[in-house]
Structure 1
Amino acid sequence: MKVLAFAASSSRQSINKTLVEYATSKIEQAEVEVLDLNDFEMPIYSIDREKESGIPELAQKFYDKIGEADAIVISFAEHNGSYTAAYKNIFDWTSRINMKVYQDTPMLLLATSPGPGGAQSVLNAAVNSAPYFAADVKAHLSVPSFFDNFDLETQQLTNAQLSEALNSALTQLTN
């Protein structure tokens, strides 16, 4: 099984990247590729820019990576209640190739934040919009108060209930 994973954030210290790496480390017998959105930085999308210069090669590369995957795990960072600008821009460019960005690939959607909301607003937006972009969301999970529920030293979820929920979500993704 080939799993594509990324944090929907461009932060080099992203707790969502920590979460997505932890989650995918628990998938047995899988080849996991963790993308860094910084490797897909493109000009801010606009219809005028698309008409003048076409779709950037990096958008096609991102789309192709999705198409090669058997499963996808994304952990969403939340900026002002919504997607990060980095993720939204990559998504906007990629959707110009094909609105079915996720190509019916099974997905696990995660989100976390330092606060008690656990980036639930952006996770809800992602889950609710997923069908429009051919995402086969098998499960989703918000991890609130990241630093209270995740031990950075041992790189593990410390909250038993969240750990069980993540294991269940991973089972739904891989079965």
Structure 2
Amino acid sequence: MKILAFGGSNAKDSINKTLAGYAANQFAGAEVEVLDLNDYEMPIFSTDRQNQDGIPALALTFAEKVDAADLLIISLAEHNSTYTVAFKNVFDWISRIKDRKHFGEKPVFLLATATGPGGGKNVVAAFEARAPFSGASVLQSFTLPKFKDNFDAEKGIVNEEKKAEFEEKLTAVKNFFA
């Protein structure tokens, strides 16, 4: 099984990239690749840029990685209740690839975390609403509020209630592939 995981943030120390990597590494024996959106920084999408320069090679590379995966684990950062510019720009560019559903009709384990009490619930709701139109089949979604209180780099999720919820959803995703 090939898993592609990434955080929807360009923060150097992205807590969402950390959570995505943590989740991906819960799949024993899987081939895991964790992407950093900083490696996919492209000009801000516009139809003028596309008409002038075409689709950036980085967008095509990102789409190829999506296509090669069996499962996407996406942990979205939330800026002002929606996607970060870094994620939205990649999303916009891959949406312009001819004859392509943005996320390649792939199953997705959707996550979000934040340092505040909302845990990214608004961005998860936004993605879940958009997913059916963008070639993403959300199998399960999970939000982790107050990341600094509820996550430890060595132990993982330390809040027992949230850990139990995560493990239940993780099991459901694993069962999808069983």
**Normalising TM by the smaller chain, what interval?**
over 0.9
Partner of 2:85 in structure 1?
A: 85
Question: Percentage identity across aligned positions?
Answer: 48
1:68-79 equivalent positions in 2, closer than 5 A: 68-79=68-79
Task: Point out 4+ residue stretches in structure 1 off by more than 6 angstroms.
Answer: none
Partner of 1:136 in structure 2?
A: 137
CA–CA distance in structure 2, aligned partners of residues 164 and 128 of structure 1: 25
Q: Could you give the per-residue CA deviations for residues 38-60 of structure 1, whole angstroms, max 9, x where no partner exists?
A: 11110000000100000001111
CA–CA distance in structure 2, aligned partners of residues 45 and 113 of structure 1: 26
Partner of 1:116 in structure 2?
A: 117
Q: How many residues in Structure 1 have an aligned counterpart in Structure 2?
A: 174
Partner of 2:19 in structure 1?
A: 19
Partner of 1:171 in structure 2?
A: 171
Residue type of the partner of 1:63? Answer: A
Partner of 2:56 in structure 1?
A: 56
Per-residue deviation, 1:174: 2.5
Name the TM-score, length of structure 2 as normaliser: 0.94
Per-residue deviation, 1:156: 1.1
After superposition, the CA RMSD in angstroms is: 1.1
Partner of 1:150 in structure 2?
A: 151
Q: Could you give the per-residue CA deviations for residues 119-158 of structure 1, whole angstroms, max 9, x where no partner exists?
A: 1111110111100011111000010111111123x24110
CA–CA distance in structure 1, aligned partners of residues 34 and 69 of structure 2: 11
Is there any run of 5+ residues in structure 1 with no aligned partner, and where? none
Secondary structure of the structure 2 residue equivalent to 1:110 = strand
Per-residue deviation, 1:171: 2.0
